[in-house]
């Protein structure tokens, strides 16, 4: 296990290159008025990728999560670049973070993060028929790639380093899709 990074400072930020806060003045059907604040998404969207090395092996990554101050095990993910489709962005992120490309990519669904106060949405992309290919990424250190059996998904949930909700939801979507039980309405 890697040694945790050193935290040199923590400070409040009024403006961020990633996050913006906006207010919504709302009136509900019963006449009640409220002002909500929400984090406004920046960029063009995001992807979370479920890379299947074979029919039962998903490739997870372990990387540092600044929000929780520890290393987390989850799925590769990232923001879309200008003029990139979700499939193109998923394949790029997969090459940057895992060292594989995919010949077969399927968008399973979209996930929100916290719909009460965030506009952020991520496309869940199943990646199959993988082949080795690496692109340079923007991570401060290369993520550790950890193969995991989907047939052992239930044991993954008991780990202290698996807490990211989008990864857990996307893994279950892919598990059910691959078993022929998941269908979007």
More confident residue, 5 or 47: 47
Residue-wise pLDDT tens digits, 66-80:
888 899 999 999 999
Could you tell me where the beta strands, DSSP code E, fall in 11-170?
20-27, 33-40, 46-51, 57-65, 70-74, 77-79, 100-112, 121-132, 144-149
User: What per-residue confidence (pLDDT) applies to 14?
Assistant: 67
The yes-or-no verdict on residue 127 having pLDDT over 70 is: yes
User: What per-residue confidence (pLDDT) applies to 24?
Assistant: 77
pLDDT confidence bin for 174, thresholds 50/70/90? very high
pLDDT confidence bin for 126, thresholds 50/70/90? very high
Residue-wise pLDDT tens digits, 4-45:
777 777 666 666 666 677 777 888 888 888 887 777 766 678
Q: Which helix (H) or strand (E) holds 93?
A: helix 86-97
């Amino acid at each position: 296990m890697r040694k945790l990074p050193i935290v040199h400072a923590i400070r409040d930020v009024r403006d961020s290159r990633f996050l913006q806060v906006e207010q919504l003045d709302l009136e509900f059907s019963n006449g009640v008025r409220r002002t909500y604040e929400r984090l406004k998404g920046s960029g063009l969207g995001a992807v979370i990728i479920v890379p299947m090395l074979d029919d039962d092996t998903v490739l997870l990554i372990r990387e540092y999560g600044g929000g929780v101050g520890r290393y987390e095990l989850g799925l590769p993910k990232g923001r879309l670049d200008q003029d990139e489709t979700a499939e193109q962005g998923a394949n790029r992120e997969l090459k940057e973070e895992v060292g594989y490309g995919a010949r077969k990519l399927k968008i399973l669904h979209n996930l929100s993060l916290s719909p009460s106060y965030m506009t952020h949405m991520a496309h869940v992309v199943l990646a199959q028929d993988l082949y080795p290919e690496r692109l340079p990424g923007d991570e401060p250190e290369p993520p550790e790639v950890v193969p995991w059996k989907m047939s052992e998904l239930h044991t993954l949930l008991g780990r202290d380093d698996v807490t990211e909700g989008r990864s857990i939801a996307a893994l279950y979507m892919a598990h059910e899709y691959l078993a022929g039980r998941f269908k979007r309405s």
